[in-house]
Amino acid sequence: MSTTDTTTPDLDTDPSGDGPDPTGHGFELRRTRRWPWVVGGAVLVVAVTAAIVVPRLGGAATANSTPGATLYVATAEGNAREQALIEYVAAEIAPDHGITVAFRGLSDSNTINRAVNDGEVAGTIYQHELWLGQVLQANPDFRETAATPVFRWGFGLWSSQWDTVEEIPDGATISLYSDPANEAQGLWVLERAGLITLADGVDRWTATQADIAENPKNLEFVLLDFGAQSRALPDLDGAVGYTEYYVSAKVPTEWQIFAPPAPDEFASQLTVGTEWIDEPNIQALIAAFQDPRVQEYLATDPAVQGVLLPLDAR
């Protein structure tokens, strides 16, 4: 699969969040001179008052360009399913591609992306392309590339009050995520469910509530972060969010009442430092995550099944 630099959408970010969520994807993004607060692709962050420095893993030289060095693939601390996938690739696939891979848990989005940018880790799988676009917009010194899609996150409409989409009443309150990219994904789900219609010509991946052309049930929307959304579900008519947060919160899976396959734009990407993308180590890492055994693992292993979905999930 070819590698392409990710273009940066012009997305604004709004303050949100009620503290760190240990399970995964959405984090604080850092912009020169100010700190926008964004949640995205899977967890919330706390304020960081100073730049975070990650020690270089192998001294002055990066493992990315050192033959035989261990290549660390990072995701958020506490995200057991993404960790399980990385450890599977490390144990079962990487040796066949002539590299050594290991998992590295880091605390938040800024730390992960700076570590990728600086070559402290070889890559990360925690974010989709639109979230990466927000990271790059907020951090113009970062140079990162979405090298290859890896999996799809389970993502859908949840309700503890109603068993079907059709039962959702007039004037219902629905929660969307509070970062721009995942708010857009939530609106896409609601449109697929027949609950709203977005205006003609609107880019579905940058859509906001202002782009809703038809709202026949007069739905009202509330923006919440990842952890808060699953906790607030009993007080809502519905919420559109990631399966992993609801599973982690022990919400019954039957409360997910509509879950179309996520579009390609919201697939997890193996993200690497652009500076090293042509290095043999990084090319071998990309090939390892493109190995067909990865997709078989996602489809069959109980450690990730139903939460991290194969790319061909329909």
Q: What is the pLDDT of residue 78?
A: 85
Q: What is the pLDDT of residue 313?
A: 78
Q: What is the pLDDT of residue 314?
A: 66
What is the rounded average pLDDT of the residues 108-135?
94
Q: How far apart are CA 20 and CA 193, in angstroms?
A: 31
| 116 belongs to a structural domain | yes
Using alpha carbons, list the distances in angstroms from residue 83 to 90, 146, 169, 295: 10, 19, 40, 16
What is the rounded average pLDDT of the residues 84-102?
98
Q: What is the pLDDT of residue 181?
A: 84
Q: What is the pLDDT of residue 302?
A: 95
- Percent of the chain at pLDDT > 70 equals 81
Same domain, 17 and 130: yes
* Exposure on the CB side of residue 280, measured as CA atoms within 13 A: 8
Using alpha carbons, list the distances in angstroms from residue 149 to 66, 92, 161: 25, 19, 35
**Residue 101's CATH number:** 3.40.190.10
Q: Is the pTM of this model over 0.85?
A: no
Same domain, 188 and 303: no
Lowest mean pLDDT among 36-45, 87-96, 126-135, 279-288: 36-45
State which of 215, 242, 258 marks the end of a domain.
258
How confident is the model over 50-80, as pLDDT tens digits?
333 344 443 458 999 999 999 999 999 988 9
Same domain, 292 and 176: no
Torsion angles phi and psi, residue 270, rounded to 5: -70, 110
Q: What is the pLDDT of residue 43?
A: 37
Residue carrying the six token digits 């590339």: 145
The number of distinct structural domains making up the chain is 2
Same domain, 242 and 289: no
Lowest mean pLDDT among 165-169, 215-219, 227-231: 227-231
What is the rounded average pLDDT of the residues 187-215?
95
| 70 belongs to a structural domain | yes
* Exposure on the CB side of residue 197, measured as CA atoms within 13 A: 6
With 50 as the cut, is the pLDDT of residue 42 above it? no
Domain region containing 246: 155-258
What is the rounded average pLDDT of the residues 31-35?
33
More confident residue, 205 or 81: 81
| 146 belongs to a structural domain | yes
Which residue, among 266, 270, 286, has the nearest Cα to 131 in the 3D structure? 266
| 69 belongs to a structural domain | yes
Same domain, 144 and 32: yes
Same domain, 198 and 127: no
Same domain, 299 and 216: no
| 79 belongs to a structural domain | yes
Q: What average pLDDT does the chain have?
A: 84
State which of 223, 241, 258 marks the end of a domain.
258
Q: What is the pLDDT of residue 84?
A: 97
Which residue, among 130, 186, 191, has the nearest Cα to 158 in the 3D structure? 186
Same domain, 149 and 296: yes
State both tokens at 115: 């570590």
Same domain, 129 and 272: yes
With 60 as the cut, is the pLDDT of residue 29 above it? no
Same domain, 244 and 283: no
- DSSP calls for 224-267: E-HHHHHHHGGGSSEEEEEHHHHHHTT--GGGEEE-PPPPGGGE
State which of 258, 274, 292 marks the end of a domain.
258
Q: What is the pLDDT of residue 227?
A: 85
| 140 belongs to a structural domain | yes
With 70 as the cut, is the pLDDT of residue 28 above it? no
| 112 belongs to a structural domain | yes
For residue 19, give the DSSP letter. Answer: S
Same domain, 271 and 253: no
With 90 as the cut, is the pLDDT of residue 5 above it? no
| 314 belongs to a structural domain | no
Same domain, 106 and 216: no
Q: What is the pLDDT of residue 10?
A: 38
Confidence tier at 31 by pLDDT (50, 70, 90): very low
Which amino acid type is present at position 47?
A
Which residue, among 78, 149, 144, 94, has the nearest Cα to 116 in the 3D structure? 144
